[in-house]
């Protein structure tokens, strides 16, 4: 098949699911991964003929996209903070909002050597790996309940040439941390099951429920547990950072203040949504 025919087929089959710009983005991501050809190179070769194997790769991807399967899982990786991270259905796909959280952490990090940081519910490892890259003299740890996620995170750390100490752990069963930290960060499950109707199918059908959802009866369960551990384990002037559910910001601020945290600050993401919290332990 000619490459321009495949591109037309993508638009014909996917136009009822995605906007034109997004379809173009999918097509060029696949072309870069399957053919090692940039958007510019393809524009210069509109009549390029693909062999059967190459054509089948595109057609298989198209079939998955019609089922709203995430493009990141199809190609097996995603870009985050200028780095490449392997992803599959065992981990959430890193999002731009989490990049904003990392920028806030970097701006807030105490000006001292050998900081100690832990990320709880690490998934793909995007948070600790990026922090390790940006803060090379820092001791970085991360934990997750999913052994499969930890395997992905460990591979991502190796590929990005950083050292992160990963631990398999159910945070809800942990009594205390084994050492103090300067920064504790978490993007825990926070979507109430009643909110599933607001979610897109590419997330709802394919990204791991374990990393997304909490029961409506106790939606702050992870924040409460991590807050309790953090108030005991953070060093003086240490920070706790959370990515949050926009609908529970006020309740979470009240919870953290009640635990003894100070300067509890809410921050919006690039979309104007209440998305992250920073709390200080004095």
Answer yes or no: is 76 within a domain: no
At 275 the pLDDT is 97
Answer yes or no: is 128 within a domain: yes
At 210 the pLDDT is 94
At 37 the pLDDT is 94
Domain boundary among 67, 93, 115: 67
CATH label of the domain that carries residue 194: 3.40.50.150
Beta strands in the chain (DSSP E): 77-80, 83-86, 116-120, 139-144, 165-168, 181-186, 191-192, 213-214, 234-243, 262-268, 274-281
Q: If 0-12 CB within 10 Å is exposed, 13-18 middle and 19+ buried, where does residue 76 land?
A: exposed
- Is the whole-model pTM more than 0.85? yes
The CA distance from 159 to 153, in Å, is 10
Structure tokens at 35: 């053919």
Q: Please check whether residues 144 and 113 belong to one and the same domain.
A: yes
Closest CA to 183 of 255, 268, 111, 274: 111
For the chain, list residues with pLDDT below 70. none
Answer yes or no: is 34 within a domain: yes
Domain boundary among 44, 67, 90: 67
Q: Please check whether residues 169 and 203 belong to one and the same domain.
A: yes
- Buried b / exposed e over 231-242, threshold 16 CB at 10 Å, is bebbeeebbbbb
The helix or strand, by DSSP H or E, that contains position 212, with its residue range, turns out to be helix 209-212
Q: Please check whether residues 142 and 250 belong to one and the same domain.
A: yes
Q: Looking at the 3D structure of the chain, how many domains does it have?
A: 2
The CA distance from 23 to 46, in Å, is 17
Structural domain for 250, as ranges = 81-281
Q: Please check whether residues 158 and 277 belong to one and the same domain.
A: yes
Answer yes or no: is 174 within a domain: yes
The rounded radius of gyration (Å) of the Cα atoms in the chain is 21
The CA distance from 218 to 189, in Å, is 12
Q: Please check whether residues 152 and 102 belong to one and the same domain.
A: yes
Q: Please check whether residues 27 and 51 belong to one and the same domain.
A: yes
Q: Please check whether residues 21 and 131 belong to one and the same domain.
A: no
Q: Please check whether residues 42 and 137 belong to one and the same domain.
A: no
At 217 the pLDDT is 97
């Amino acid at each position: 098949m000619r490459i321009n025919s495949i591109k037309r087929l993508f638009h014909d089959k996917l136009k009822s699911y995605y906007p034109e710009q997004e379809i173009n983005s999918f097509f060029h991501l696949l072309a870069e991964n399957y053919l090692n050809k940039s958007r510019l190179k393809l524009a210069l070769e509109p009549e390029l003929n693909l062999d059967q194997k190459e054509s089948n790769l595109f057609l298989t991807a198209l079939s998955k996209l019609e089922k709203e399967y995430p493009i990141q899982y199809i190609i097996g990786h995603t870009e985050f903070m200028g780095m490449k991270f392997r992803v599959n259905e065992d981990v959430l796909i890193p999002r731009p909002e989490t990049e904003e959280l990392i920028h806030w952490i970097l701006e807030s990090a105490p000006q001292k050597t050998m900081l100690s940081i832990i990320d709880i519910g690490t998934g793909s490892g995007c948070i600790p790996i990026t922090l390790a890259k940006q803060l090379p003299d820092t001791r970085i740890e991360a934990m997750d309940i999913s052994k499969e996620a930890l395997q992905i995170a460990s591979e991502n750390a190796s590929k990005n040439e950083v050292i992160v100490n990963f631990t398999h752990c159910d945070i809800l069963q942990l009594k205390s941390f084994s050492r103090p930290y300067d920064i504790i960060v978490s993007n825990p499950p926070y979507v109430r099951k009643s909110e599933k109707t607001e979610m897109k199918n590419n997330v709802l059908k394919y990204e791991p429920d374990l990393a997304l959802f909490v029961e409506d009866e106790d939606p702050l369960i992870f924040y409460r547990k991590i807050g309790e551990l953090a108030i005991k384990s953070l060093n003086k002037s240490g920070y706790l950072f959370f990515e949050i559910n926009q609908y529970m910001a006020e309740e979470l601020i009240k919870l953290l203040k009640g635990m003894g945290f100070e300067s509890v600050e809410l921050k919006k993401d690039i979309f104007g949504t209440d998305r992250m919290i920073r709390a200080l332990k004095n």
